[in-house]
Amino acid sequence: MSKKELQRLSTLALRQRKAHLLRTLSLPPEAIHASFLERFLQCGRPNCHCHQGEKHGPFFYLSRCLPKRQMRTLLLKEPAQILQGRRSVEAYQELLESLDQLSWINWELLRRGSPLQTQ
């Protein structure tokens, strides 16, 4: 739910959403903060078909941007590794979205002068 949509909810509804989030939120053990990338690449052999349009791949990577324009990449080779990489990135994203939802609910409760810690 966006901030705008949350603003239209009653304080009771906000509190119910928050209680539900707090009940269901848990740290996903497999979470990885990265982007999951699928790439088709050209190789260095000048006469290879990949230079005529049919590139090699797909190759699967995790990549993570770091400060100062640094980047970490991890090539995923085995199918199980690729699947796990995809799931781990999704798990991290879902956790982030839940946290952000909690943050917006608290923002809205604070704006209304409503206590953030209850029960």
Site residues for Zn ion per CB under 5 A: 43, 48, 50
Minimum distance, C-beta of residue 61 to Zn ion, in the bound complex (Å): 18
Is the CB of 48 or the CB of 110 nearer to Zn ion?
48
Alpha-carbon span 111 to 108, nearest angstrom = 5
Minimum distance, C-beta of residue 50 to Zn ion, in the bound complex (Å): 3
Is the CB of 50 or the CB of 95 nearer to Zn ion?
50
Minimum distance, C-beta of residue 53 to Zn ion, in the bound complex (Å): 11
Is the CB of 29 or the CB of 44 nearer to Zn ion?
44
37 SS3 class: strand
Give 41's Cβ-side CA count (13 Å radius). Answer: 11
Are the beta carbons of 35 and 66 closer than 8 angstroms? no
